[in-house]
Amino acid sequence: MLYRDFPDDYKIMADLFSEKGSLERRCRRWQDYTGAPEYDKHLWRKQAVKGNVDWDDMSRSMFRNHAVRLTGKKGFETSRWAFFHRAAFKQRSLVLGWLN
């Protein structure tokens, strides 16, 4: 358990997660603590994916047709975009486990 194995880190993270304020301020504090780069979804997509990465405003059906043509660039598996989405998936899976 994190609180038992890394009590100092646990205390810092608990403080970060309980911080009130704007999302931007909380994200900045987390980035400062972890050294994580600022998330730039368009830049990270362009670095990881071949093709048009401007899909945010596409309808579901347009995106479905568009997505089948997308491929990863060389090094996709180790791109920031892939790492970010793996981490997001793990976090969501953890929370869904708590809810079920």
Structure tokens at 76: 């996709």
What whole-number distance in Å separates Cα of residue 95 and Cα of residue 21?
22
pLDDT tens for the chain, 100 residues: list them: 556 777 787 777 777 777 788 888 888 887 888 787 888 889 999 999 999 999 999 999 999 999 999 999 999 999 999 988 998 898 888 888 888 7
What whole-number distance in Å separates Cα of residue 6 and Cα of residue 74?
36
DSSP string, 33-65: HH-PPPP-HHHHHHHHEES----TTS-HHHHHH
Dihedral (CA of 22, 24, 29, 34) sign:
positive
- Write down the pLDDT at residue 15: 78
- Write down the pLDDT at residue 53: 92
Q: What is the pTM of this model?
A: 0.64
